Structure 1
Amino acid sequence: MDELRMKKTAASVIAKQFKQLTDPKTAIPYFNVELSSGSNLFSWNIGIMIDNEESIYNGGYLKGMMTFPFDYPYSPPTFRFVPAIYHPNIYKDGRVCISILHQSGDETSGEPDNETWSPVQTAETVLMSIISLLEDPNLDSPANVDAAVDLKKSKKLYEERVLLEVKRSQLNIPKDFLYKKKVEIENLRNNIPNEGDASDINSSVHGSQSVTNTVASSNSSWFDPQQKKKSFWHDSDVEDEELEVEFSESDEE
């Protein structure tokens, strides 16, 4: 496969996965996905809202960047938290060390092929794997040795540092980013709400900072494709026909 055709194949696959993660009908409600710049499909800015009361990261809004190679999906994307977070499997520059982001068949990784990247994986499965990694660190192969040592020797101090980062991360929640609780999302999926004003529900995050939870009504932006206001179900400003990669004339020759 020549380079230009490979890029076009990658762009087509990435565009489909981008739409899957931003379309209200199919999107994961805790991911906020945007193109990093213009219509460049190969770089995404991602916000991950953690909504798990049993998680030490509960209430955190973790920002990251996913970058795709031109031979995607045959090679895995990369993911980096920006800023980096304190975790045994996250390098100090924010890069995530996880099996699914390692190339299948790479003997130097020492990981079984069934845990590494394959073309059937998607950006969504990468994000879900990263969330699982946050809750279940791999201490046998740490990327951040200091974090691994702290977790082993003093779990309390480790958790205190993580909680501090969680509180700081809440300052990064976009002002136009509306947070819907799981039960509200299920209600929206199963029942079209009646006309009326949206109601706000405030819930405490770690007993400190609260986040506004909005139940969308049928006249809200979530139901009106003509409005461009962003909600937790991110309505991308990029139209379908813009989800293409521009190639220079030299590439086409």
Structure 2
Amino acid sequence: MNHTSPSGSPTDKSGFELNKNPVEGFSAGLIDDGDIYKWEVVIIGPQDTLFEGGFFKAYLTFPYDYPLRPPKLKFITEIWHPNVAKNGDVCISILHEPGEDKFGYEKPEERWLPIHTVETIMISVISMLADPNSESPANVDAAKEWREDPNGEFRRKVACCVRKSQEMAFD
């Protein structure tokens, strides 16, 4: 995985920020030098959470009009979490289209802003792992388990995902 972005790409600022201010808990880079719009990230499960010790791969796909619109983040590694759809799509405010929320759940400043970088997105995802939001879930079943019995079935399913992620980490 290449950890720099080519000059003149829409991800220059993000790549520069990562190199200038490295953040613990993830790595990010281009999947293929020929496609500046598709990145692979690996998020390390945060300490003192159920996800600790996991290595979760995801694709971060930038739209052609980035940074005016947010990228999409999709986990490739299986992960059981209220804010991650069963197909891997991540649902957090920072990755929602800018502007007003037609459902009234989010303030405009909580949604995508062009100032966000790969770094701020990853910090938000790491925070999401540490503190799930079950009020607006992408995975209703995981949210129900998190609310009703976080140390029972939810914990068991997360532990299974962590083990699988460790086995697949170096594939």
Matches of 1:96 and 1:108 in 2, distance apart? Answer: 19
Q: 2:129 aligns with which of 124, 128, 134?
A: 134
* Cα contact 2:46–2:126 (8 A) shared by 1: no
Deviation at 1:103, TM superposition (A): 1.5
Deviations 1:205-247 (A, max 9, x none): xxxxxxxxxxxxxxxxxxxxxxxxxxxxxxxxxxxxxxxxxxx
The answer as to 2:9 corresponding to 1:12 is: yes
The answer as to 2:81 corresponding to 1:66 is: no
- SS of 1:161's partner is helix
Counterpart of 1:123 in structure 2 is 118
The one-letter code of the counterpart of 1:114 is: E
* Cα contact 1:84–1:91 (8 A) shared by 2: no
Deviations 1:165-187 (A, max 9, x none): 11111123338xxxxxxxxxxxx
Q: 1:87 aligns with which of 81, 91, 94?
A: 81
- Structure 1 range deviating more: 60-69 or 34-43: 34-43
How many residue pairs match? The answer is 162
Counterpart of 1:41 in structure 2 is 36
Matches of 2:24 and 2:126 in 1, distance apart? Answer: 14
* Cα contact 1:35–1:41 (8 A) shared by 2: yes
Matches of 2:100 and 2:166 in 1, distance apart? Answer: 38
Closer/same/farther in 2, CA of residues 74 and 109 from structure 1, 3 Å limit: farther
Matches of 1:74 and 1:20 in 2, distance apart? Answer: 18
Counterpart of 2:90 in structure 1 is 96
Per the normalisation by structure 1, the TM-score is 0.60
- SS of 2:9's partner is helix
Counterpart of 1:145 in structure 2 is 140
The answer as to 2:51 corresponding to 1:57 is: yes
Give structure 1 regions of 4+ aligned residues with deviation exceeding 6 angstroms.
none
Deviation at 1:109, TM superposition (A): 4.8
Deviations 1:138-175 (A, max 9, x none): 11111111111112222222111101111111123338
* Cα contact 2:46–2:130 (8 A) shared by 1: no
Deviations 1:189-212 (A, max 9, x none): xxxxxxxxxxxxxxxxxxxxxxxx
- SS of 2:87's partner is coil
Matches of 2:17 and 2:36 in 1, distance apart? Answer: 14
* Cα contact 2:25–2:126 (8 A) shared by 1: no
Closer/same/farther in 2, CA of residues 35 and 119 from structure 1, 3 Å limit: same
Q: 2:168 aligns with which of 169, 172, 182?
A: 172
* Cα contact 1:35–1:45 (8 A) shared by 2: yes
Matches of 2:38 and 2:131 in 1, distance apart? Answer: 27
Counterpart of 1:7 in structure 2 is none
Return the index of the structure with the highest Cα Rg.
1
